[in-house]
Amino acid sequence: MKALVVEGGAMRGIFASGVLDGFMEYDYRPFDLAIGVSAGSSNLIGYLADQPKRSVQVITQIATDKQFFNPARFLRGGDLIDVKWLIEESNRRFPVDTDTLFSGIPMLAAATNIATGKADYYRLNPDNLNKVVEASCALPIAYKSTPCFSGGCYTDGGVADSIPVKEAYRRGAREITVILSHPLSYVMPKTRSPWIMKKLFARYPQVAEAMVKRAENYNASLDFIRNPPEDTTVNVIAPPENFAVKRLTMKQPLLKQGYEMGVEAGREYVTNSHLQPIDLTTALGASAALGA
């Protein structure tokens, strides 16, 4: 079984949006399963719905809006980021082709269960789409709401499982393609002051513990990628070392540059698979319909 895993990383997700648009230029969809985390789940929706440029438009036009990212609101006690507004506004301006989304490759999104501190993996369907994506993207502290559904309450999936390659393996994938948000040289540093996390998340001790262990779990996923089991192949697409987009980058030139890096990486990955590009009039037409 072949799986596609897409990491989150907030605005760093601009790279994955480009990679997936590069895939769509070639109609490259050899996967049996897709798993997204946080921004990675949002990016996967555009890809699996076959809507080129949707994800990059969401990031550059909506995620940079003050209604979504508002430090002044945060200082007054509100949300730094308004995830629910982002989802609703994205759906209003760039409606998802749900028929296509739910008729092809099955997609899972990871969200961190606040009661257990572990990741739950939900398969997206028409009834849970918005709730699951909101939960997967609900950055702790920055987004004060706690999405609840199916008997659980959740925070950002990246807290418990930023790169769910082991979950893909557990579900039977033996060829895994991973789109990362950091260059390959990146290693997540350990939390310097665990007591701060425990104080910030005093109401949710299991989430606090997950935050303390996040670097350990993240680096363990990187180790799995670099040293997969003998029966498994892991293919990695990562930003170059000069990738300048950070978690909260809002500057359009940097976002555009990061997106183009992703597109080129996606094209290169596919052409190494000896595929030929499809007629781009279909993709361009879809982009125009989305307001590109």
User: What tokens does 266 get?
Assistant: 């996606």
- List all residues 6 or more positions away from 151 whose beta carbon is below 8 Å from its beta carbon: none
Catalytic residue of the set 17, 21, 38, 221: 38
Sequence-ordered list of residues with C-beta below 8 angstroms from that of 21, at least 6 positions apart, any chain: 52, 53, 55, 56, 259, 262, 263, 266
Given the residues 21, 82, 156, 161, the one annotated as active site: 156
Integer Cα distance of 268 and 250 in angstroms: 27
Question: Cα–Cα distance between 138 and 104 in angstroms, integer?
Answer: 26
Active-site residue flag, 38 = yes
Is residue 21 among the annotated active site residues? no
Contact (Cβ atoms closer than 8 angstroms) between residue 181 and residue 9:
yes
CA-based nearest residue to 159, from 129, 108, 223, 116: 116
Which residues are known to be catalytic?
38, 156
